[in-house]
Amino acid sequence: MVEPEMDATTTTPSGTDEVELGLLIVGAGPVGLYGAYYAGVRGLSVGLVDSLSEVGGQVTAMYPEKQIYDVAGFPVISGRDLVQALFVQAAPQRPTYLLDQEARSLEPTGDGGFLVVTSSGTRLRCGAVVITGGIGTFSPRPLPAGEEFLGRGLAYFVPSSQEYVGKDVVVVGGGDSAVDWCLMLEPLASSVTLVHRRDKFRAHASSLDKVRASSAKIIVNAQVTALEGGELLEKAEITVTGEEPLVLPCQKVVAALGFTANIGPLREWGLELHDRRHLVVDSAMRTNIPGVFAAGDIVDYDGKIRLISVGFGEVATAVNNAAVHIDPEAHLFPGHSSDEPRDAPAPA
């Protein structure tokens, strides 16, 4: 079987006057793509709108080559391969992709559904909405020192690992991204040094143990206090609390300090927010607006864990509850996928 390619042929052109959908998913990242598959299982026509020009969300935009270790069924998989697999899984459901445009306004239509208008003027009529992200912007938290080397050795994510081959690399941060970059680059780089401002890490303990067992050097209670070089980065000054600065040869710095999100037009939709960045949902993934559901990193509830694997379960819950919102006579439980005939027709 030839797998479909993730190219512009899968995208509904911007400016289309009106699109009728059963379900609209706001966000075409991994969680949104899995939601598109599940919408098809429920017999719903589905559209995905995303402000980025490609599917895959932050995974595609920021770390397509990053190795991911905590997706069920895959001991390890790259971000790019995960997105491709999810895209292929959703393809039989014939989703409508509306990329490079934001979902701007949300208006109830009086029948339990909604009219959503995008930044390109496309009008989307749907029976329910599931928000998984894909709106507004996200910005990296800047490295306090050396910002002038951005693009000349300093980076906030690694779209391609090849430019790190044979380089002296400093990775800054204490979370999963920082540790994962170390594990990905250590076999390729001449040297890798992980710098964290505390001695406690937020990253998975097993991943951190792998870094400790590798050739990478870990410096804690420290910060990068200066970057030096000419046209390109050559050295990094690292200061450990209470000690004299240490200067290391360094041609690449990856500052994995996290990102701040701007949820943009969602602020105007009347949704209940927690800390101005996350949508409050209940156990059915319902927001405070009937017919609007949410899943993935954008949601918040007591005990929330922000992992891709958790988002997959949340979006399945959201889509199944959305199906009942659209048709109150429908069953909440969709049945097991193993019970489905493999030649079942895709939704119209």
Please list the residues that pair with 125 across neighbouring strands: 20, 115
CA distance 51 to 133: 9
Q: What is the 3-state secondary structure (H, E, C) of 216-235?
A: CEEECCEEEEEEEECCCEEE
* Fold that domain 142-255 belongs to in CATH: FAD/NAD(P)-binding domain (3.50.50)
What pLDDT shows up at residue 348? Answer: 44
Closest CA to 103 of 47, 164, 41, 57: 47
- Whole-number CA gyration radius for the chain: 22
- Phi, psi angles (nearest 5°) of residue 209: -60, -35
Q: Which CATH class is domain 8-138+259-339?
A: alpha beta
**Digit-coded pLDDT (tens) for 231-252:** 999 999 999 999 999 999 999 9
What pLDDT shows up at residue 288? Answer: 97
CA atoms within 13 A on the CB side of 233: 29
pTM over 0.95: no
For the chain, list residues with pLDDT below 70: 1-16, 134-138, 261, 339-348
Beta strands 23-26 and 128-131, pairing class: parallel
E strands, 210-345, where?
A: 217-219, 222-229, 233-240, 246-249, 252-255, 259-262, 273-274, 278-280, 292-294, 299-300
What pLDDT shows up at residue 19? Answer: 94
Neighbours of 265 (CB within 10 A): 18
What pLDDT shows up at residue 340? Answer: 62
CA distance 98 to 96: 7
Domain with CATH 3.50.50.60 in the chain: 8-138+259-339, 142-255
What pLDDT shows up at residue 8? Answer: 36
What pLDDT shows up at residue 81? Answer: 95
**Digit-coded pLDDT (tens) for 160-212:** 889 999 999 999 999 988 998 899 899 999 999 999 999 999 988 998 999 99
Residue the block writes with tokens 């970059």: 181
CA distance 37 to 130: 13
- At 144, which amino acid appears? P
What pLDDT shows up at residue 193? Answer: 98
Residue the block writes with tokens 């430019």: 163
What pLDDT shows up at residue 199? Answer: 94
